[in-house]
Amino acid sequence: MTVALRQRAVDWGPPLAVFALGILAWQFLVVAFDVQEFLLPKPTEIAQTLWDERSSLWHAGIYTFKEALGGFALGSSMAILVALVFAAFRSLGTAFMPFAVAANAVPIIAFAPIMNNWFGLLNPFSKMAIAAVLCFFPVLITMLRGLTSVDPRAIELMRSYAAGQGSTFRRVRIPASLPHLFAGLKIASVLSMIGAIVGEYFGGPTTALGVTILNASAYTNFSLAWAGIVLASAFGILFYGAVALAERLTTSWDPSRRAFHAE
C-alpha cells in the first residue's frame, strides 16, 4: 500500500510541480514587466475575481456544463447506435463511412450560428445540438473501428460454438470495442465543452458561461473573462477525468493499457 502511494506521488509529483512553477512564473512575469491587465491579468487577480463572483460564475458554469453534458449524451449515444448498425450491416457502413470521415474533417463549429437560428438563441437545445454534432463523428469512427477490428479468430471461435450474430456482438464485438469507444468518448468530452461555449459566443442567455466571458471582455472586465475561462477549463478537465475514470473501471482487463502503464 505504501509502495502504491509512493508510486502515485512519483507519478503526480512532476506535473504538479510544473503547474505550480508555471503559475509562479506567470505571476512573476506580469509583475516584473508591468503587463497591462487587458493583455494578461495576474493569477492572484483572477483568483480574487473567481472568489468574489463565485455565485454567478458557478451558476453560469453549471448552466453551460449541462448543455455540454446533454450534447455529449445525445451525440455519443446516437454515434454508438449508428456504429452498431454499420457494423452489423457492412454494406451500409461501406456506403456511409467515407462521408462520416469527411464530415469529421469539417469545422462543425462553423454551424453554430445556424443551430442558434434553428432552435432559438435562448434555447439551451441549440448549444446541445452543436455539442452533439461535434461529439457524433469521433465516437462513431472509434466505435466502428473497435467493433470491426476484432481478432478474426475470436469470431471464428464464436462460429465454432454456433453462436449467432446477436450473441457474437454482445459477447465479443461490443466488449472488444470498449477501449476504442473510450478513446472517442474522451475526445467528445472535450469537444462538447468547446461546442457549448463557442455556441454561446454566437448568442445565448446572460446566465451562460460563454456569454459571461464574451460580455466581460467587451466591457474590459478582463479578470472576470479570465475567471470564466479558468472555470470552463476546470469543467472540461473534470469531465474528461470522469470519462477517463469510467474507462479505468470498465477496461482494466485491456492488455494494451497494462503495457502502457508498465512502461
Q: Which residues bind other proteins (CB under 8 A)?
A: 151, 153-154, 156-157, 159-163, 167, 171-172, 175-176, 178, 251, 253-255, 258
* Cβ-based neighbours of 236, under 8 Å, separated by 6 or more: 189, 190, 193, 194
**CB of 95 or CB of 154, closer to other proteins:** 154
Which amino acid, 14?
Answer: P
In the complex, what is the shortest distance from the CB of residue 181 to other proteins, in angstroms, rounded to a whole number? 13
Whole-angstrom distance, CA of residue 100 vs CA of residue 79: 11
Q: How far is the CB of 159 from other proteins (least distance, A)?
A: 6
Nearer to other proteins by Cβ, of 39 and 153: the residue is: 153
98 class by beta-carbon count within 10 Å (0-12 exposed, 13-18 middle, 19+ buried): exposed
Distance, in Å, from the CA atom of 195 to the CA atom of 208, rounded to the nearest integer, reads 13
Q: Give least dist CB 253 to other proteins, A.
A: 5
* Nearest-angstrom CA–CA distance, 204 and 202: 7
Closest to other proteins by CB, 70 vs 179, is: 179
Q: How far is the CB of 154 from other proteins (least distance, A)?
A: 5
Nearer CB in complex with other proteins: 58/253: 253
223: its cell numbers: 479578470
